[in-house]
Chain A
Amino acid sequence: MPNPTSQGSEEKPVGIDSFRTFTASSASVIPLLQQIQNQYGYLSENNLERVSEYTHVPLSSIYGVATFYSQFRLSRPGKHLIRVCQGTACHVLGAGEIMAYFKEQLGIEENETTTDELFTLESVRCLGCCSLAPAMMIGDKTYGRLTRDTVDGILSSYREREER
């Protein structure tokens, strides 16, 4: 299992008390993992163990679930998660070039985080904003009709906000 602590000290594991709204059964595994990831941005080994303890599902199965679904990540992401859409409409309208430009500008590959821990770059299957292709999301915000110029503008606006 990747060791998230290599990227800095780990947060205190989630308290089992916060699980009480979920039934202690296998049906709660995915909702619990989603809640933990919402809170921490990723799933640490400690937290996977907590889910296993609470739901009585073996840790190996929890790990199986966490690695099966594309939503879950096992290492801490940067402050801003960039998800570049790679759906069909985006693909035929140049999403590949946009992804390449992000890699060039951020100096990282897909699923990596910049050294200042500001940005993590991921691709996403389809955001369902095909009319705005090529599209992406940063955090909860969707951006469409991307070009290299708009990418420049968006990245600098995030960086400026950090400096302030």
Chain B
Amino acid sequence: MSHVSEIRVGLATCGIAAGAEPVYTALEKELAMIDVPVRLKRVGCIGMCYNEPLVDVVTQDGERSTYGHVRVEDVSRIVEEHVIGGQPVQDLLVASDGFFDKQVRIVLENCGLIDPESLNEYLKCDGYEALEAVVFTMTPQQVIEKVTASGLRGRGGAGFSTGVKWGFAAREPGPEKYFICNADEGDPGAFMDRSVLEGDPHRVLEGIAIGAYAIGAPHGYFYVRAEYPLAIKRLEKAIADATAAGLIGENILGSDFSFEIKIKAGAGAFVCGEETALIASIEGRRGTPRRRPPYPTVSGLWGKPTNINNVETLANIPWIIRHKAEEFTSYGTEKSKGTKVFALAGKVSHSGLVEVPMGMPIKDIVFDVGGGIRDGKAFKAVQIGGPSGGCIPSSLADVPVDYESITATGAIMGSGGLIVLDEETCMVDLARFFLDFIQKESCGKCTFCRIGTKRMLEILTRICDGNGTVEDLDWLLELSKKVKTYSLCGLGQTAPNPVLTTVKYFREEYDAHIVDKTCPAHVCKALIHYEIDPDQCKDCKLCTHDCPVQAISQGKGAFQTIDQKTCIKCGRCYEVCPFGAIDVQ
């Protein structure tokens, strides 16, 4: 029997929010009292967010047992029975549910396995080997050729060839050039970049240093969302440790290559995902995009050649350098190579951080990796690509996840937010939700983006309120076309996508709202009402007590009844009724 040598606690933002800190403290105390040498460590996102807080117990042979939903009171059993007794606590282990079976982990290679605050742990996992190889054995041109050969495309959403982009920046005259890592993950429903930065910050740092060597940039920036304090903290530590070890800074590893890097905290503006807006923000101005060309690779930050890559793109780089280009291209499809990290969330059973080979059909991600829909409900669609993306219906669940196939549906790959929707999601309400987001985040420079999205939002709100007309739908499509055509940057050009895809695939839901004045998913409040079925009602009065506006009272018999005029349709009675006596119409 092999002894337990290591215990890992998932302490990324999700884990901490789920209560992993007290579990870590309890483990620390318990382990201090026993005479078994066990290494307790903090790791980043393990991926199975649906089982948080997570504790991995690893034996000397590398055998890993994962405990899920761990509470402080479970800790003593894990220590006594597993660490001392050598027997895993069966009833606390997470079920083997195939979550990892179809995943391929390149970007997330170390995520959840190593201590993100330890440079040594990263070094043990071949960390900075790629940087060393690049600096001493490869010319910048060779690095660019290798990255181009790997077929890696920008993971921020647009999917432009990373190697080709580096080539553009490299051919500009130096010496003043900048390399920026865009970590301003603004898509609602996306947490890939946060997880990678919290779980394996050195990997991204190594990636940006290799990129900087390739294009000849002595300066770099991480532009990180201000809402990600833990990611910023871990990145700061990674930069400090790597600098102290001579891996970043002046004359890296004793070579002629120097690269200094700073962190800029974003201040909250979705439009700063656009490269020229991000640059404006670092320069201290409002994040307003400008016309291109000139592209940032020619004239970017402070007018100097600037290359910008997303976190996931850079996290791929060290792996690509350490392996043959063909190993990377063995994953994926003809035009989309490698893997894609998704933040899988919404109405799916196993929400979490997943990495799958490009080309995997949507249904495999939802059902095999994600474990299907929660509570046995029907799968309706996935929302991919955030506010710039669209909804792909369940009828297209065979569509492979690659840049071209996703674009053909009318959505976009985007940065990796993948929200699963079920029968209880109203597609009109969802389109309204994204338009509301876009309308607030529009920088206001282009008229159609500024005012057009406002008018679109008004129309969608009207439809959700039951006041829509048939002409409204025509207006919506007409405005969509105009906003797409007459906007300068990606934000406006893609803003109508959520509307266009929902109209394309869920036209009948718009018709139901407009013509029949019903919301088939029972979401739009103006179009639903609650009723109590007297035959099912047991007169327990739980609903009556919970109603915030006293709309429920005794009916004519042993049942309760709702006064429709007073009811605010908050749905609390529906949630609280133990007998399913409340109907939504």
Contacts and interface: CB of A to CB of B under 8 A. Distances in A.
B347 A26 contact: no
B285 A142 contact: no
Given A64-B286, A92-B430, A130 B268 contact: no
Interface stretch (A7-15, A65-73, A112-120): A65-73
Contacts of B386: 88
A71 B347 CA distance: 29
Nearest to B444: A68
Interface stretch (A30-38, A74-82, A155-163): A30-38
Contacts of B571: 97
B13 interface: yes
Which of the listed residues B226, B228, B229, B347 has the most CB atoms from chain A within 10 Å of its own CB?
B226
Contacts of A34: 226, 265, 267
B572 interface: yes
Interface residues of B, number: 57
Nearest to A88: B189
B543 interface: no
Contact of A69 (B14, B287, B419, B437): B287
A86 B188 contact: yes
B194 interface: yes
Interface string B182-201: 00011111110010000000
Given A72-B267, A128-B13, A132-B14, A26 B227 contact: no
B228 A128 contact: yes
B331 interface: no
Contacts of B570: 97, 100
A125 B268 contact: yes
Contacts of A128: 13, 185, 190-191, 194, 225, 227-228, 343
A135 interface: yes
B352 A131 contact: yes
B286 A65 contact: yes
A151 interface: no
Given A34-B267, A125-B270, A132 B18 contact: yes
Interface string A17-49: 000000001111111011000000000000000
Contacts of B434: 88
A154 interface: no
A129 B383 CA distance: 17
Of B188, B282, B283, B433, most buried by chain A (CB within 10 Å of CB) is B188
Interface string A127-160: 1111111010000111110001000000000000
B188 A88 contact: yes
Contacts of A59: none
Given A27-B284, A131-B52, A71 B268 contact: yes
A108 interface: no
A140 B232 CA distance: 14
Interface string A69-109: 11110000000000000111111110001001000100000
Given A69-B268, A88-B189, A97-B570, 15 more contacts: A30-B281, A30-B284, A34-B226, A34-B265, A70-B269, A86-B188, A89-B189, A92-B347, A128-B225, A129-B14, A130-B190, A130-B419, A131-B191, A132-B14, A132-B18
12 contacts: A27-B284, A65-B285, A69-B267, A69-B269, A86-B188, A92-B346, A97-B571, A125-B437, A128-B194, A128-B227, A129-B17, A131-B351
